[in-house]
A = this chain, B = another copy of it.
């Protein structure tokens, strides 16, 4: 039945987990009220129950996990964050895990199996039914994050010679078909996909009409080895709802629907945003030790950068001792360069991910960025020059910081574009290393220009 409907811009309270429910679960657990906990947990959608497991901490979570122990809904498992799930997989052991996997649809099951390492994976595969094992092993034969891993292997297809009536009779007779499907593929004698017929179209046509007459031939077959980011691009570019997946000889082997692609798009975006922020993976549910280690390696790279910038300052110790205003003002030049560079970098990384930054427009955008950096550099040179002049009553210091600002902001804008472009061309993820290289450039150039110009003009 349809749920009651609130009139609100926000769906809180209508769908999803609420803070009130988390508190109620916490209270029920505190007094070991199993019946109360059941009443709270039973009506929850698997995705919301997974959120509840994650929202609870320490003993609360252990109690809930223990309580669910006998009756873990495999669907809940699929919705858990990887860090939380990995902990549970270790506790469960291969036999319980195999039961879980058998209760899942093939693509969800594959997602769990993929996460297991060599021996654990084999132990699990040994425990699932033969038919399922063959299917999983075939899927695991495709590269990680490829269309072959992403696709559903169950699909409906009919030969090109059939008409609507034959097709409907076949659909009624074959119990092996997936429960629900959108399109029905029409295949040639070599098993190549020729087009797709919507089931709604089949419903509305006479039995005698050949399927080739009502099929949509504008399909976009995807080779099974294609990387999932390319698959996401294809769905986004052409607003696809589903696409056939073909093997190296062009035979239809599976189908990808847009709802599978939503997860890929989310993953992609998460990677980009986290890497730009210097975080290697979503560590919200990761343990303290692991989080500290992962973030520490990034901070170490930044320490090297910061020491390099300090070394530049070190060259100018004698001058700073004489004019201490230099020490006061120098972070402004470095910081403004860093910010201007980050703006360009962010736009560039995003444009690369969306395939909007290519060899054919790179030169034009480089020119534009240099211009934007130069204009803003001049505007802020005047501003900061005035501030410095008023603060230290020195026209020379105002001129020095203004000139350094213009240079550093142009350099920053160019670096913000060239660094991700260079990394991308070198086959490195531009989101990953870009910002630490950029900061090195803007700090070193910022300090060197400012202090170097000061030496030329003030001394």
Contacts and interface: CB of A to CB of B under 8 A. Distances in A.
Contacts of A295: 340, 343, 372, 376
Contacts of A238: 15, 45, 47
Interface stretch (A27-35, A94-102, A129-137, A377-385): A377-385
A230 interface: yes
B302 A339 contact: yes
Interface in A199-230: 199-204, 217, 219-223, 225-227, 230
Contact of A339 (B283, B298, B360, B387): B298
11 contacts: A10-B226, A11-B222, A15-B237, A22-B358, A168-B203, A236-B266, A276-B346, A282-B347, A284-B365, A288-B375, A299-B340
A97 B237 CA distance: 23
Describe A's contact surface by its main secondary structure: helix
Nearest to A174: B204
Contacts of A361: 54-55, 57
A327 interface: yes
Nearest to A312: B328
Given A239-B262, A258-B258, 18 more contacts: A1-B195, A1-B217, A2-B217, A3-B221, A9-B146, A11-B234, A15-B220, A16-B355, A57-B361, A181-B198, A203-B203, A270-B350, A313-B327, A313-B331, A314-B328, A314-B391, A317-B325, A326-B327
Interface stretch (A66-74, A109-117, A120-128, A303-311): A303-311
A425 interface: no
Chain copies in complex:
2
Contact of A321 (B19, B143, B321, B346): B321
Contact of A331 (B4, B331, B339): B331
A204 B177 CA distance: 10
Nearest to A192: B2
A93 interface: no
A335 B258 contact: no
Interface string A222-262: 11011100100111111111000010101000000111011
Interface in A357-394: 357-361, 364-365, 368, 371-372, 375-376, 379-380, 383-384, 387, 391
A325 B321 CA distance: 10
Given A234-B15, A372-B291, A375-B292, A360 B198 contact: no
Contacts of A327: 313, 317, 320, 324, 326-327, 330
